[in-house]
Amino acid sequence: QSLEDCPLDEDEDAFQALGEEDEDIDQFNDDTFGAGAVDDDWQEAHERLAELEDKASSSREPDGPVGNDGDVLGDPEDALAERLTRLVIDSELEDPAIMQAVHTRDPPQPGGLNSSIWDSSAVLRRIRGPLLAQEMPSVSVLDYALPQRPLQARDEERDPSERALPRRSSSPIIGSPPVRAIPIGTPPKQAAIPNFNQQILCPKPVHIRATMQQRYPTPYGERMSPNQLCNVPNSSLLGHPFPHSVSPVLTHLQRAQLLGGAQVKLLPAGRMSPSQFARVSGLVGSPLPSVNPKLLQGRVGQMMSPAGGFRAFFGAPPAPPPSQLPHPPGPGSHLQNLRPQPQMFRPDTTHLHPQHRRLLHQRQQQNRNQHRSLNGSGGDRGGHRSSHQEQIRKDPYANLMLQREKDWVSKIQMMQLQSTDPYLDDYYYQNYFQKLEKLAAAEEVHGDGPKKERTKLITPQVAKLEHTYKPVQFEGSLGKLTVSSVNNPRKMIDAVVTSRSEDDETKEKQVRDKRRQTLVTIEKTYSLLLDVEDYERRYLLSLEGERPALMGERKQKICDMYDNLRGKAPGQDRPSDDHFMQIMCIRKGKRLVARILPFLAPEQAADVLMATARNLPFLIKKDAQDEVLPCLLRPFSHVLYHLPLGTVTSLVQQLTNLPQSAAAPTNLHLTAVLQNKFGLSLLYLVLSRGEELQSSDTNTELMQDNQWTELMLMATRELLRIPQGALAKPVSIPSNLISLFSRYVDQQKLNLLETKLHLVQGIR
């Protein structure tokens, strides 16, 4: 009875159907987590493990075989399962085989391309009897793909013999980001640890079948000797957590691989924490009921030579008696002082901040020294162990994370920092540190102080690779698939701009549109401005040949900007100020103008100034809320320095709106100007400039001189007239105003002016 057939009111039936479904679900559950997998109660196992740890820390029998403790473990399989998955393997993401697997995107085929590392470590499987690798069906779970990692950090650690296929150097062919069956987040060797922990602790482990990916294409003889295999940090390893109910029989090939890839950290004898277990038991490979991790631990002290260990193992019968389980020598010793072999575990700390790295190394050094001194006295294994134990006793939970795990996490984080254009992506960070470095360099030049290490975290930089997207194609099919993805976004909506007809619009709308247009113009001009400002940097970075082109571009952009400002009206002689005014009405526009002014040619800049002066009252009115006009003062003053007298004169004219017809009693223009901070300051600036020119320039034209004088007379008259209270407070008062005014007025009036305008310093 299917679920649909059961109407809701027929509760019984519904329940039954549900029950059936539940049963099905239960069945699956069982298979994965349940009875099908492991009989044991995970809680028990957990407790036992915890007990074990306590016992271990108190027991001091490093060599003691396992007999008594063996039972404590109870269910080594579970432990083993977990441990096996935590086998330290390769540099995960970089392994060519993995990448290979990724790129082909084929479902993993037995004996095929896919990496066995992933399969093995990620999967628990059930093995029955002599069922061996070859019969393992492939696992689809592991059909994940990894993005190509350009990091080359671990190149030297690769095992050349394991490269089944040449590595790809380009990104995945397929445009879309590769699909990951296992989310990127999971740590590699313990790819399933997040999943697994739950599974292992659950009574029944996952029942996914995996291919025993053999990378054993080569017969044993051709492969690296166990010794070598041992030493290669990257060699992959099959770790199969097997349920204890099964006694798998591994071919010696498998075992070889297992052992070969294993990197074991020598365990301090006393330490029985689960994480340690993983490494030890993982090596064993075959999670036989008789396997006793404790036994293995016991072997720690023995330090069998790698070769011997392997051979012993290989010689062992399929159901290896515990006593013969050698402890595969760990090529990387926990503290690197127990094995004379070249260390493997030199953690990759390049990504760490230099200061951090220093601290870290210091600590490591200290530890090592500590141990060395301890070991020196002991000299034998016992000595080592005791030192280990001491350290462990201080903090039994320390080092829960393997160095690899840490490296892995930091690798991910560094990956995130990769950028093809750090200037673009990370402007503030880069700039900040550039400034710091400059400071430091400057300091260095001055003094001979100790060089402070202000090095920054060097973010990885990746060359930009151009990827042309090739849509996925299947052979033999017609046409192309339309698949949109991150790398190849597809247009979803067709947004069409429809311009409305003039008739329909109301006045308001027109105004609004006009304002919008102005805003658009401002934005466009702003981008031009930013580009222009950036040219200097690009100039420095570019090659010789490119520079003229860059300069040309820059000039063009500047012209464009100016056009935008003034409103492109090529036909007219005198473009109206209207456009400019619109821009100036908007706060951003004013700031834009201020920033553009330095780039403009003098005539253009003067033009802008004129337009501003001409319309100043209007602008002042509009600026009442924003009060951003003063920002224009500085660029204006720069411009002023380059202006000839004639221009200055006209400027004053504009500003003061003089001469004016006699009919107008008050000069509203000038009043407005004077009453505004910006206006007054600008006026002062202009006057000051004029005075400068007047006094310094010997051969000014008479005409201009006259004009100037006339203007000044009028201006001073006006200034005298204006009540003092109405005057604004200018930003700055140029010092030569007194001399200016003194030319045109008598002493009395001069005094008046002085007081009114606070020209004399100290009055304020």
List contacts with other proteins (CB under 8 A).
Answer: 185, 187, 395, 397-398, 400-401, 405-406, 409, 412-413
Q: For residues 211 and 134, is the Cβ–Cβ distance under 8 A?
A: no
Rounded to a whole number of angstroms, the minimum distance from the CB of residue 411 to other proteins is 9
Rounded to a whole number of angstroms, the minimum distance from the CB of residue 412 to other proteins is 4
Assigned token pair, 261? 């890839």
Rounded to a whole number of angstroms, the minimum distance from the CB of residue 117 to other proteins is 20
Q: What residues contact 501, with CB distance under 8 A and at least 6 apart? A: none
Rounded to a whole number of angstroms, the minimum distance from the CB of residue 176 to other proteins is 22
User: Which CB sits closer to other proteins, 181 or 398?
Assistant: 398
**682: helix, coil or strand?**
helix
User: Which CB sits closer to other proteins, 273 or 375?
Assistant: 273
| Residue 527, number of CB atoms within 10 A of its CB | 11
Rounded to a whole number of angstroms, the minimum distance from the CB of residue 88 to other proteins is 16
User: Which CB sits closer to other proteins, 25 or 50?
Assistant: 50
CA 18 from chain centre, in angstroms, equals 48
Q: What residues contact 457, with CB distance under 8 A and at least 6 apart? A: 351, 352, 353, 354
Burial 721-751 (b: 16+ CB within 10 A, else e): ebeeeebeebbebbebbbebbeebbeeebbe
User: Which CB sits closer to other proteins, 407 or 691?
Assistant: 407
The C-alpha atoms of residue 361 and residue 345 are separated, in whole angstroms, by 13
Q: For residues 606 and 647, is the Cβ–Cβ distance under 8 A?
A: yes
Rounded to a whole number of angstroms, the minimum distance from the CB of residue 272 to other proteins is 17
Rounded to a whole number of angstroms, the minimum distance from the CB of residue 409 to other proteins is 5
Measured at the CA of 351, the angle between CA 347 and CA 357, to 5 degrees, comes to: 65
Rounded to a whole number of angstroms, the minimum distance from the CB of residue 732 to other proteins is 36
Q: For residues 400 and 276, is the Cβ–Cβ distance under 8 A?
A: no
Spatial CA neighbour of 715 closest among 681, 747, 744, 751: 744
The C-alpha atoms of residue 62 and residue 81 are separated, in whole angstroms, by 24
The C-alpha atoms of residue 10 and residue 533 are separated, in whole angstroms, by 77
Torsional class of 489: left (φ above 0), alpha (ψ -120 to 50), beta (otherwise): beta
The C-alpha atoms of residue 69 and residue 294 are separated, in whole angstroms, by 7
Rounded to a whole number of angstroms, the minimum distance from the CB of residue 397 to other proteins is 6
- CA diameter of the chain: 122
Rounded to a whole number of angstroms, the minimum distance from the CB of residue 188 to other proteins is 12
SS (H, E, C) 723-760: CHHHCCCCCCCCCCHHHHHHHHCCHHHHHHHHHHHCCC
Rounded to a whole number of angstroms, the minimum distance from the CB of residue 1 to other proteins is 43
User: Which CB sits closer to other proteins, 193 or 640?
Assistant: 193
Measured at the CA of 651, the angle between CA 646 and CA 655, to 5 degrees, comes to: 155
User: Which CB sits closer to other proteins, 29 or 410?
Assistant: 410
Rounded to a whole number of angstroms, the minimum distance from the CB of residue 110 to other proteins is 32
The C-alpha atoms of residue 377 and residue 391 are separated, in whole angstroms, by 16
- What are the helix (H) ranges across 105-185? 116-122
Rounded to a whole number of angstroms, the minimum distance from the CB of residue 761 to other proteins is 43
DSSP string for residues in 528-550: HHHHHHHHHHHHHHS-TTTHHHH
Q: For residues 296 and 325, is the Cβ–Cβ distance under 8 A?
A: yes
| Residue 530, number of CB atoms within 10 A of its CB | 11
Measured in Å, how far apart are the chain's first and last C-alpha atoms?
99
User: Which CB sits closer to other proteins, 185 or 340?
Assistant: 185
Rounded to a whole number of angstroms, the minimum distance from the CB of residue 408 to other proteins is 8
User: Which CB sits closer to other proteins, 362 or 751?
Assistant: 362
Spatial CA neighbour of 409 closest among 238, 189, 145: 189
Rounded to a whole number of angstroms, the minimum distance from the CB of residue 86 to other proteins is 13
Rounded to a whole number of angstroms, the minimum distance from the CB of residue 202 to other proteins is 19
Query: At residue 265, what are phi and psi to the nearest 5 degrees?
Result: -90, 130
Return the bridge partners of 577, or none: none
CA distances 290 to 56, 86, 246, 294, Å, are 20, 21, 11, 11
Rounded to a whole number of angstroms, the minimum distance from the CB of residue 448 to other proteins is 30
Measured at the CA of 756, the angle between CA 617 and CA 612, to 5 degrees, comes to: 20
Q: For residues 720 and 764, is the Cβ–Cβ distance under 8 A?
A: no
Spatial CA neighbour of 331 closest among 446, 475, 233: 233
User: Which CB sits closer to other proteins, 3 or 398?
Assistant: 398
Return the bridge partners of 461, or none: 419
Q: For residues 478 and 168, is the Cβ–Cβ distance under 8 A?
A: no
CA 418 from chain centre, in angstroms, equals 6
User: Which CB sits closer to other proteins, 161 or 410?
Assistant: 410
Rounded to a whole number of angstroms, the minimum distance from the CB of residue 351 to other proteins is 13
